[in-house]
Amino acid sequence: MRKTYSLVILLLTFFITSEALGQGVVVSPTSLTTSEDGSPVQYSVVLTSEPDAGETVTITPSSTDVTEGIVSGALMFTDATWNIRQFVTVTPGSSGDGNDGTVSYNIGNNVSTTSGSYNGITASDVSVENQNVDGVSAIVLDPSSGILIEEEDPMSHVVTFRTTNTPTNDVEISLINNNPTDIQLSTTTISLNAGNGFTSSVSITPIDDSDDEGPETFSITTSASTSADANYNGLQLFDIIGEISDDDATVVAPVPTMGQWGLIVLFLLMLIFSVSILQSSKSKSAVA
Ligand SMILES: [Ca+2]
Ligand SMILES: [Ca+2]
Ligand SMILES: [Ca+2]
Ligand SMILES: [Ca+2]
């Protein structure tokens, strides 16, 4: 009896766990930074498993603060397109809303389905910070996030640095490349001066290796600014964040979410529990 009981628990847990591990929505990245009047940035959305035949899974993004950022329309996935990344474009709100500082808001990603397998599945929110440019001495990086680079694509991606008004002296910022095996920078020192109209840029170029490393996040740390103009000395800037895809991966395994890790742990615990019941009933029958 105990043996049957433990086997039923094990089978049920395995069924629930494998079902839940299958369906999911990967949103990446889940945090973005933008500046008023800056360029739009993007995040990607993809499913982790094939929906049922004829099922359409729709992801509808919505901004909690449309004065600070608006989003592009709904994305639809089917059994033919579930594993192809699609993109949501986030367009930052404009200046002209006063000196409102850096404003944080969220983008929800509602999941709906025409039937079956994706019922009850949820997707992560994306948190966004939109930097103010009205009435302040600030340095704008455009774009500072959502930079999506393909490893095999030799194209450079340019990040522009500019001041929001005219400093009285030169302004310097240094950059640290945190992923030197994945990307190269055209410079590690940004100098903003009268000669370049207080606008300069860095180019980010992918390094095409033959390692199967999967998609990765890259970051470039920006130092606080230095300048003899007190208004432009010691300003903290956004770091530069992006993603680089990998063209050497044979199989791209989805990374489990926190909820999925929880289910894996639950499954392992139930496995240990069931085996211990089985062993104790075995030893009891051996004694009898
Ligand atoms: Ca604003
Ligand atoms: Ca503003
Ligand atoms: Ca490669
Ligand atoms: Ca590679």
**In this predicted structure, which of 11-25, 35-49, 122-136, 238-252 has the lowest mean pLDDT?**
11-25
pLDDT at 251: 52
CA of 133 from ligand 1 middle (Å) equals 8
pLDDT of 64 over the 50 cut: yes
CA of 146 from ligand 1 middle (Å) equals 19
pLDDT tens-digit readout, 21-33: 589 999 999 999 9
pLDDT at 271: 72
Structure tokens at 268: 């392992």
CA of 216 from ligand 4 middle (Å) equals 10
pLDDT at 14: 46
CA of 149 from ligand 4 middle (Å) equals 12
pLDDT at 278: 63
The CA distance from 117 to 17, in Å, is 14
CA of 65 from ligand 2 middle (Å) equals 13
> Considering the entire predicted model, what is its pTM?
0.78
Cβ atoms of 107 and 88 within 8 Å: the answer is: yes
pLDDT of 12 over the 70 cut: no
Q: Half-sphere exposure (CA, 13 Å, Cβ side) for 56? A: 6
pLDDT at 104: 98
Start-to-end Cα distance in the chain: 16
What integer best gives the mean pLDDT of the chain? 88
> Mean of the pLDDT values across residues 53-62?
97
> Mean of the pLDDT values across residues 264-285?
70
At 261, the pLDDT band (50, 70, 90 cuts) reads low
At 279, the pLDDT band (50, 70, 90 cuts) reads confident
Closest ligand to 214 CA? 4
pLDDT at 22: 86
Instruction: Tell me the residue ranges of DSSP E strands in the chain.
Output: 25-28, 31-35, 41-47, 57-63, 69-71, 75-77, 86-92, 103-113, 126-131, 139-142, 147-150, 157-163, 171-177, 183-185, 189-192, 199-206, 216-222, 226-227, 240-245
CA of 33 from ligand 1 middle (Å) equals 12
pLDDT at 18: 44
**In this predicted structure, which of 150-159, 171-180, 215-224, 247-256 has the lowest mean pLDDT?**
247-256
SS3 assignment, position 2: helix
pLDDT of 13 over the 70 cut: no
CA of 167 from ligand 2 middle (Å) equals 20
pLDDT at 213: 87
CA of 93 from ligand 2 middle (Å) equals 9
pLDDT tens-digit readout, 85-135: 999 999 999 999 999 999 999 999 999 999 889 999 999 999 999 999 999
Cβ atoms of 113 and 47 within 8 Å: the answer is: no
% of the chain with per-residue pLDDT over 90: 73
Cβ atoms of 245 and 190 within 8 Å: the answer is: no
pLDDT at 259: 57
pLDDT of 282 over the 80 cut: no
Cβ atoms of 38 and 143 within 8 Å: the answer is: yes
CA of 103 from ligand 2 middle (Å) equals 9
